[in-house]
Amino acid sequence: MSPGPDVTTAGAGAALAERAQRVVPGGVNSGQRSIPGLPGLVVAGTGGARFRTADGAEFTDYHAAFGPPLLGHNDPDVARAAAEAGAALGHMGVGVTEGEIQLAEELCALVPSLEKVLLTSTGSEATFHALRVARAATGRRLVVKFQGCYHGWHDSVSLNVISAPDRVGGHDPISAGILPEVLDATLVLPFNDSAAVRRCFAEHGGDIAAVIVEPVPHNVGALLPHQEFLTTLREETARAGSVLVFDEVITGVRHGLGGWQQISGVTPDLTTLGKAIANGAPAGAIGGRADLMELFSTRPGAPAFFAGTYNGHPSVVAAALATLRKVREEPVHDHVFRLGERVRTGLRTVYARLGLPVAVTGYGSVFVTYFMPGYDGGAAGAERPTPRTYTDLLANDAGLFVGYRRRLLEHGIFELPLNLKRSHLSYAHTDADVDRLLEATEAAVTAALADGGARDLEHASTMGGATPAAAGRQEEAGR
């Protein structure tokens, strides 16, 4: 590993990035892959917990492609299974394969809400179909989502993810080009606010087709749910005849094979999955109550159209089966949960030593530090205080959040330098990686504090909104 890799000046990488800019808008194939401060990042190789740039710099990766590689990059068992399937079975796009049957059986056995399941290629397709079938089933128009949750790129849910403070409470689309009537059909509520949910159902219950929620909103780091909030969602939707959708694209498999619904004991009507179910191969799934799933047009004559050329692709299915097998048979969750706890505990010690008020939170393999006061300590034995709503996160110091992550690059560590992004551990990370992460974080935060965090704060926010930390730097942060 080259110490202090410099990814901003480059030879081969810069030339490749320039070629990309000429033919790919922005030079990357998805929003949020072009990272301010990291022009010309060209990835040339991955393996386990590491990746290498075209310039030969090596990083320990905690970004993890926004979450899929729970086992680590190109896990050999998953890669072998996908390659073997690819050599034996092309994609036919007609009928079904034994692998698809096996995968559906497995997912239905693992995830409490799944009586039947359909495969997609992405999480966005899964959430799109969840809302479409909910509208088909109920004949209703409205969808409820929560501020800070992300459910993919389609119109009904493309709003109110990372919103500027003055956009919270109203509609805050993350894209132009969405019909206003589509936005109007989505109601946005604060996460963890049961009273707001009850009020919304009292007013609109008869028109609500679906409530869609990330049971742990990880698209703004980690907001842990109040159990009572999830129970309220279940009760209110059941009473009103609305469809409750748990979007477990991040939490599914990563937090447990049965997802957050198994952890919380709250069973939704529909569940969407993606990311970690195939360790990085493009797989998504939508499943749930049989009576709802039977409305999809894979059953001839059923009303909710469902299709996708690549759904159930043999190599992707093989990757998913190999991933689930490994997570079942090896101590994957034990390992990542133990490392996750070490990271969170270690980070709290680091920040206490620096005298910096922070909220270090997360769950299992996911961790994030928000730079804001009010979350240290708590009474002995009491539940640790943790941010619970998007509004809580408006106090986060975005400059420091992004600034220390930029400085982490100099230590060969990659945590995505964008505001509110979570970090992930995998089965391939080691205790030595955690030791280095803790040491490097202390050095990076110290350096970031010394030169005032990220100076170009206009780049610190994402998803259309302006920087949430309008409140600016906390005075205490300099202590």
Catalytic residues, which ones? Answer: 150, 247, 275
Site mask for ligand PLP (CB under 6 A), range 359-388, x = bound: ------------------------------
Encode 194-226: b = buried (16+ Cβ within 10 Å), e = exposed.
bebbeebbeebbeebbbbbbbbbbbbbbbbbbe
Q: How far is the CB of 391 from ligand PLP (least distance, A)?
A: 20
Q: How far is the CB of 274 from ligand PLP (least distance, A)?
A: 5
Nearer to ligand PLP, 151 or 407 (CB): 151
Interacting span for ligand PLP (CB under 6 A) from 85-93, 148-156, 288-296, 440-448: 148-156
Nearer to ligand PLP, 28 or 44 (CB): 28
**Beta-strand relationship, 284-288 and 186-189:** unpaired
Nearer to ligand PLP, 67 or 399 (CB): 67
DSSP 423: E
Q: How far is the CB of 402 from ligand PLP (least distance, A)?
A: 19
CA dist 461 → 147, 161, 368 (Å)? 15, 11, 16
Residue with tokens 């990686």: 433
Interacting span for ligand PLP (CB under 6 A) from 147-155, 363-371, 374-382, 464-472: 147-155
Q: How far is the CB of 278 from ligand PLP (least distance, A)?
A: 11
In sequence order, the 6+-apart residues with CB closer than 8 A to the CB of 342 are: 431, 434
DSSP 234: H
Interacting span for ligand PLP (CB under 6 A) from 52-60, 86-94, 146-154, 460-468: 146-154
What strands lie across the sheet with 243-247, from one edge to the other? 116-120, 284-288, 270-273, 243-247, 208-213, 142-146, 186-189
Rounded to whole angstroms, the Cα distance separating 17 from 53 reads: 11
247 binds ligand PLP (CB under 6 A): yes
Rounded to whole angstroms, the Cα distance separating 64 from 76 reads: 17
Site mask for ligand PLP (CB under 6 A), range 274-313, x = bound: x---------x-----------------------------
- Assess contact for 473 and 453: CB atoms under 8 A: yes
Q: How many residues bind ligand PLP (CB under 6 A)?
A: 15
- Assess contact for 254 and 217: CB atoms under 8 A: no
Nearer to ligand PLP, 152 or 412 (CB): 152
**Beta-strand relationship, 208-213 and 243-247:** parallel
User: Which residues within the stretch 186-225 sit at the binding site for ligand PLP (CB under 6 A)?
Assistant: 214, 219
Nearer to ligand PLP, 213 or 448 (CB): 213
Rounded to whole angstroms, the Cα distance separating 254 from 257 reads: 7
In sequence order, the 6+-apart residues with CB closer than 8 A to the CB of 287 are: 107, 108, 111, 113, 114, 115, 116, 117, 118, 270, 271, 273, 293
In the set 57, 137, 187, 250, which binds ligand PLP (CB under 6 A)?
250
66 binds ligand PLP (CB under 6 A): yes
Q: How far is the CB of 35 from ligand PLP (least distance, A)?
A: 16
CA 206 to the chain's CA centroid = 31
7 binds ligand PLP (CB under 6 A): no
Site mask for ligand PLP (CB under 6 A), range 98-127, x = bound: ------------------------xxx--x
Nearer to ligand PLP, 462 or 474 (CB): 462
- Assess contact for 222 and 364: CB atoms under 8 A: no
Interacting span for ligand PLP (CB under 6 A) from 145-153, 257-265, 305-313, 424-432: 145-153
- Assess contact for 18 and 75: CB atoms under 8 A: no
In the set 69, 152, 399, 453, which binds ligand PLP (CB under 6 A)?
152
Interacting span for ligand PLP (CB under 6 A) from 95-103, 242-250, 252-260, 329-337: 242-250
Strand partners, 45: 52
- Residue 150 φ then ψ, to 5°: -120, 135
399 binds ligand PLP (CB under 6 A): no
Q: How far is the CB of 154 from ligand PLP (least distance, A)?
A: 9
Nearer to ligand PLP, 219 or 242 (CB): 219
151 binds ligand PLP (CB under 6 A): yes
* Neighbouring C-beta atoms of residue 46, cutoff 10 Å: 16
Rounded to whole angstroms, the Cα distance separating 68 from 24 reads: 24
Nearer to ligand PLP, 280 or 340 (CB): 280
Encode 343-361: b = buried (16+ Cβ within 10 Å), e = exposed.
bbebbbebbeebebbbbbb
Nearer to ligand PLP, 149 or 395 (CB): 149
- Assess contact for 317 and 99: CB atoms under 8 A: yes
Which chain residues interact with ligand PLP by CB under 6 A?
A: 66, 122-124, 127, 150-152, 214, 219, 247, 249-250, 274, 284
